[in-house]
A and B are shown apart, each in its own frame.
Chain A
Amino acid sequence: MPQDKSVILKVEHLSHSYGEVHAVRDISFSVKKGDIFSFLGPNGAGKSTAINVLITLLPLQKGEVVVAGYNLRTEREQVRRSIGIVFQEITLDRDMTVSETLEFHGDIYGLDRNLCRTRTQELLELVKLEDKVSAYIKELSGGMKRRLEIARGLMTRPKLLFLDEPTIGLDPQTRRKTWEYLKSVNAEGTSIFLTTHYMDEADELSDQIAIIDNGKIITSGTPDSLKNSLGEDIIYIETSDNLAAEKILLTIPGVKKVQSSESRIVLLSGTDGTHLLPRIIETLTGHEISVQAVNLKKPNMDDVFIHYTGRELRE
């Protein structure tokens, strides 16, 4: 594979199966240096499987991957040295203290003891755990554990940080805080690959999002481009005859896409919906179809997900 210096992670035709279960099917994508890249998908989509292959916990069955300039198939040790990891499940020893946890991590990566100590201090300040240095893990709250794990993932100054569902199970306030830490970590130059099934998380953090479902990438792009691909606004309309209305609506300039069902019509508008809406009502009324209800909103990631997968995100 030709190496591109501006790319921190390049994945080509990656597949992974557990026996008969095809968890990841032929996915390709790349992450630019300095970016935050998210895998957005429902439970069982294959996010953890993909991440576990990339961080060397699972063997690379099929595909070619370059992580931080190293070939995942042949240079696994170098890959391990270049990345930081925050696992989906809490992976801490309840009976170790906060500082022991970080020092142990530094030790198994062969970090110099003094360096280890200064970084421990720095990172605990970053994640606001400096007053917990000698607390035992079992004395920490869920959010504190998560923050400690993020600090641990950063101990070795990785070029690329992997996070598998970083804010799962955290309260809204702690989630927000965690996003802030991740953004500041990213601002200091660490590229980030994360998985999530929260739309708002992907939207808030990512430079690039890939929507993954049933082991496949369905679509990808920047959060804005994904939302814009749905048009300016989404308009929901209920009429006396939805089927007839659909045909008429399609002739109105500015209407991008119309989906009708018995109960309602979902219309994607290519222009400003607030100006389009009066025209819609006028036209339909002119065709003797009565408009019973309307609703207009800006598309969000939920809409993007529903649009591309054809269903609501299973939570």
Chain B
Amino acid sequence: MKFGFLPIYLRDMRRFFRFKHQLLSSFLQPILWLAFFGMAMAGNFDRILSSNSVIPGVLEVSYLTFMCAGIIGATILFTNMYGGFSLMFDKNWGILREIMASPLPRRDLIIGIASAAITKSWIQSAIILIFGIILGVTFFIGMSPLRTFISVIGFFLFVAAFATAFLCISLTLALRMDSPEGFQGISTLLTMPLFFLSNSLYPLEGLPPLMGTIALVNPLTHLITGIRYCTIGEHFSSIGMEVIYSSTEVLFSFLYLVIFSIVMFVITLKTVEKVEVS
């Protein structure tokens, strides 16, 4: 059974498309963020900084463009952090018992859920990206079609690594906890600081030193770095601050996410192997 994870993957995807309200809100939420918060903030920043914000010779992007990458990152974080919720449901009231008593390897269970999570994250991020561009986000400016294509692939790879890591964290939580309330509480507690201690809404350069240092180990920062590098470029400025990403820096971010996701995957696998559903 080479593709043993496939039934798990297909079931998850079917559920994703079956619950229309959930599906709609998972797209609408980030879009509303972008539309309201993004547009409002962008308007304000642009007014405050109108005169001296432009650095000559550097690609200048609007705050909306800058922030769109952050909203994509945050959305992927939120979605996957809560992604284990259905496993908790399956564990307490559903078919995890059936799965655990079957010959399906535990590894395939995790791979199935994770690959569905990656697919969902891709769909979500693509939709925000397209909607952002409609709203006036200037992604892929000055890139050749080939470069754009490669950038999109890179973008998806970053999203995949990050989604896997946080989905696995969420699965581990779901397997160890018994109450949905507890699960939700912990997830919220984890996501809030991750969101604000990152470069999602502002460049790291503007953060107080301690916050800046914490943000550097925050995986969300590395995801958003990757997204900005792929969608905007290696050198640009926004709201009066200059951003330069070297390719080693971006490669480091990617490896950071890949290693992080592998570690989380292994921890999740160990947790699944120990869990008793009876």
Which residues of A are interface residues toward B (Cβ below 8 A)?
48-49, 52, 55-59, 77, 80-81, 85, 87, 91-96, 100, 104-105, 107-110, 152
A57 and B4 contact, CB distance less than 8 A: no
User: Which A residues touch B90, using CB under 8 A?
Assistant: 93
Chain B residue with the shortest CB-CB distance to A87: B97
A110 and B4 contact, CB distance less than 8 A: yes
User: Which A residues touch B14, using CB under 8 A?
Assistant: 100
- Contact pick for B99, options A77, A108, A152, CB 8 Å: A108
User: Which B residues touch A85, using CB under 8 A?
Assistant: 98, 101
Among A55, A57, A94, A107, the most chain B Cβ lie within 10 Å of the Cβ of A107
User: Which B residues touch A57, using CB under 8 A?
Assistant: 97, 100-101, 276-278
A108 and B94 contact, CB distance less than 8 A: no
Residues of B74-101 whose CB lies within 8 A of A: 90, 94-95, 97-101
- Given pairs A48-B278, A109-B104, 9 additional interface contacts (CB within 8 A): A52-B278, A55-B101, A57-B100, A85-B101, A91-B97, A95-B15, A95-B19, A104-B95, A109-B103
- Chain B interfacial residues counted at CB < 8 A: 25
User: Which A residues touch B103, using CB under 8 A?
Assistant: 77, 80-81, 108-110
Residues of B5-33 whose CB lies within 8 A of A: 6-8, 10-11, 14-15, 18-19
Give B197-211 as 1s and 0s: 1 = Cβ < 8 Å from A's Cβ atoms.
000000000000000
User: Which A residues touch B98, using CB under 8 A?
Assistant: 85, 87, 91, 105, 108, 152
User: Which B residues touch A95, using CB under 8 A?
Assistant: 15, 18-19
User: Which B residues touch A91, using CB under 8 A?
Assistant: 94-95, 97-98
A107 and B7 contact, CB distance less than 8 A: yes
User: Which A residues touch B11, using CB under 8 A?
Assistant: 93, 96, 100, 104
B247 within 8 A of A: no
What's the nearest-Cβ distance from chain A to residue B99, in Å? Answer: 6
Chain A residue with the shortest CB-CB distance to B95: A93
Q: Could you list 15 A-B pairs, sorted by A, with CB under 8 Å?
A: A57-B97, A57-B100, A57-B101, A57-B278, A58-B278, A59-B276, A85-B101, A87-B98, A93-B11, A95-B19, A100-B11, A104-B11, A108-B7, A108-B98, A152-B98
What's the nearest-Cβ distance from chain A to residue B273, in Å? Answer: 11
A168 to B106, CA, bound (A): 31
Give B238-271 as 1s and 0s: 1 = Cβ < 8 Å from A's Cβ atoms.
0000000000000000000000000000000000
User: Which B residues touch A108, using CB under 8 A?
Assistant: 4, 7-8, 98-99, 102-104
Among B6, B90, B97, the most chain A Cβ lie within 10 Å of the Cβ of B97
What's the nearest-Cβ distance from chain B to residue A9, in Å? Answer: 16
What's the nearest-Cβ distance from chain A to residue B91, in Å? Answer: 11
B1 within 8 A of A: yes
Q: Which 4 A-B pairs have the closest CB atoms?
A: A107-B7, A80-B103, A52-B278, A108-B104
B7 and A104 contact, CB distance less than 8 A: yes
Residues A109 and B95 in contact in the complex (CB < 8 Å), given A48-B278, A57-B278, A95-B15: no
B1 and A92 contact, CB distance less than 8 A: no
User: Which B residues touch A87, using CB under 8 A?
Assistant: 97-98
What's the nearest-Cβ distance from chain B to residue A269, in Å? Answer: 44
A92 to B98, CA, bound (A): 9
User: Which A residues touch B18, using CB under 8 A?
Assistant: 95
What's the nearest-Cβ distance from chain B to residue A46, in Å? Answer: 12
What's the nearest-Cβ distance from chain A to residue B183, in Å? Answer: 19
A152 to B95, CA, bound (A): 12
User: Which B residues touch A110, using CB under 8 A?
Assistant: 1, 4, 103
A236 to B73, CA, bound (A): 79
User: Which A residues touch B276, using CB under 8 A?
Assistant: 57-59
A49 to B99, CA, bound (A): 18
User: Which A residues touch B104, using CB under 8 A?
Assistant: 108-109
What's the nearest-Cβ distance from chain A to residue B87, in Å? Answer: 12
User: Which B residues touch A100, using CB under 8 A?
Assistant: 11, 14
Chain A residue with the shortest CB-CB distance to B15: A95
Residues A92 and B4 in contact in the complex (CB < 8 Å), given A52-B278, A85-B101: no
What's the nearest-Cβ distance from chain B to residue A15, in Å? Answer: 16
A48 to B277, CA, bound (A): 12
User: Which A residues touch B7, using CB under 8 A?
Assistant: 104, 107-108
A68 to B17, CA, bound (A): 41
User: Which A residues touch B1, using CB under 8 A?
Assistant: 110
Residues of B98-114 whose CB lies within 8 A of A: 98-104
User: Which A residues touch B97, using CB under 8 A?
Assistant: 57, 87, 91
Chain B residue with the shortest CB-CB distance to A78: B103
A217 to B14, CA, bound (A): 46
What's the nearest-Cβ distance from chain B to residue A225, in Å? Answer: 33
A105 to B230, CA, bound (A): 42
A107 and B15 contact, CB distance less than 8 A: no
What's the nearest-Cβ distance from chain A to residue B188, in Å? Answer: 25
A222 to B4, CA, bound (A): 43
User: Which B residues touch A104, using CB under 8 A?
Assistant: 7, 11, 95
B101 and A92 contact, CB distance less than 8 A: no
What's the nearest-Cβ distance from chain A to residue B13, in Å? Answer: 13
Chain B residue with the shortest CB-CB distance to A56: B101
Chain B residue with the shortest CB-CB distance to A48: B278
